[in-house]
Amino acid sequence: MIDAQDYAEFSRFLADCCGLVLGENRQYLVSSRLSRLLDEFAFAKVEDLLRALRRSADPTLKSRVIDAMTTNETSWFRDNYPFEMLRQIVFPELAAKQKPIRIWSAACSSGQEPYSISMIVNEWETSHPSKLVPVSILATDLSEGVLAQARSGIYDGLSIVRGLSAERRQRFFETMPNGHRIKADIQQRVRFQKLNLMDSYTALGKFEIVFCRNVLIYFSTDTKRRIFDGIARQMDPGGYLFVGASEAVGSYTDAFEILRTPQGSMLRRR
Ligand SMILES: C[S@@+](CC[C@H](N)C(=O)[O-])C[C@H]1O[C@@H](n2cnc3c(N)ncnc32)[C@H](O)[C@@H]1O
């Protein structure tokens, strides 16, 4: 069992470097999530790994520990309604302005979220050929591991079925010996970049649409406030923000108003 002092120190390390709040008495979770790294880096106990983390400036160990502790769970068209709202409300409104649309998928995990957005763009363009505007998607995450998978655009038989209809699988993927590869026209709209949400976003520029879903649930109130304010600064009035189905933004910033529609809710930059 990890002792109280080591646990407190490890909790601080995670909160400082990636915002993740462990909470009380999650020693079991820490031990189980780090167990594979112990073997790989030849540490006898979790305490030895924590000691190495404290001593060494090895960025590989640090980033592998963060990878092991964060949750990468995702799926295609997760929750479905944000993607329907894009198609039915947001794209028609923004495309009418005849200006390029920049979309940011913050905390994109292995790519299902930004590629799902790109598929919706493709479907919308096919059905509205006279209203085309350039659309680009920036997809960021803290984890090198998930970004490598996302950039490859190749998914195994199990992950390809989670949230994708047979029709979309057929239309947007090609079958390869090593899995299912997303087609080039969907992939080329998306650019992946490593970004820690704890850092500044100013260099990213402005976005018309931001997806920041199912990541801040694990963060402290102060950190959420800081991140939502940071996101708001990267958007002009009228821009749209999508958060996770169980996440509320109102208590952290007043930069957004809630728009409730029959499909679900989204936030609009005031
Ligand atoms: C549960 S996944 C959500 C993926 C996707 N947005 C969705 O809703 O399906 C959370 C992602 O957040 C990333 N993450 C965690 N802390 C982060 C941070 N401080 N900065 C950027 N990404 C972070 C993790 O690496 C993980 O890929």
**DSSP line for 19-72:** -B---TT-HHHHHHHHHHHHHHTT-SSHHHHHHHHHH---HHHHHHHHHHHS--
The protein residue with its alpha carbon nearest to ligand 1, atom 9, reads 74
Ligand 1 pocket, residue 78 CB under 6 Å: yes
Specify if 75 maps to a domain: no
The pLDDT of residue 263: 85
Residues 93 and 55 in one domain: no
Ligand 1 atom, smallest distance to 105 CA? 6
Write the pLDDT tens digit of every residue in 161-213: 999 999 999 999 999 999 999 999 999 999 999 999 999 999 999 999 999 99
Q: Which domain holds residue 43?
A: 4-69
The pLDDT of residue 195: 97
Specify if 138 maps to a domain: yes
Question: Residues 268, 256: contact at Cβ < 8 Å?
Answer: yes
How many angstroms separate the CA atoms of 189 and 198, rounded? Answer: 26
Q: What backbone torsions phi and psi does residue 210 show, to the nearest 5 degrees?
A: -130, 135
Q: Give the angle 212-216-219 at the CA atoms, nearest 5°.
A: 160
Ligand 1 atom, smallest distance to 19 CA? 19
CATH number at residue 209: 3.40.50.150
| Centre of ligand 1 from the C-alpha of residue 110, in Å | 9
| Centre of ligand 1 from the C-alpha of residue 127, in Å | 32
Ligand 1 pocket, residue 243 CB under 6 Å: no
Tokens of 142: 């803290």
Total number of domains in the chain: 2
Question: Residues 49, 65: contact at Cβ < 8 Å?
Answer: yes
The pLDDT of residue 196: 96
Residues 146 and 106 in one domain: yes
Ligand 1 pocket, residue 113 CB under 6 Å: yes
Residues 33 and 95 in one domain: no
| Centre of ligand 1 from the C-alpha of residue 91, in Å | 25
The protein residue with its alpha carbon nearest to ligand 1, atom 2, reads 72
Domain termination site, one of 21, 49, 69: 69
Q: Which residues of the chain have pLDDT under 70?
A: 57
How many angstroms separate the CA atoms of 226 and 13, rounded? Answer: 18
Domain termination site, one of 23, 42, 69: 69
Residues 96 and 137 in one domain: yes
Ligand 1 atom, smallest distance to 109 CA? 27
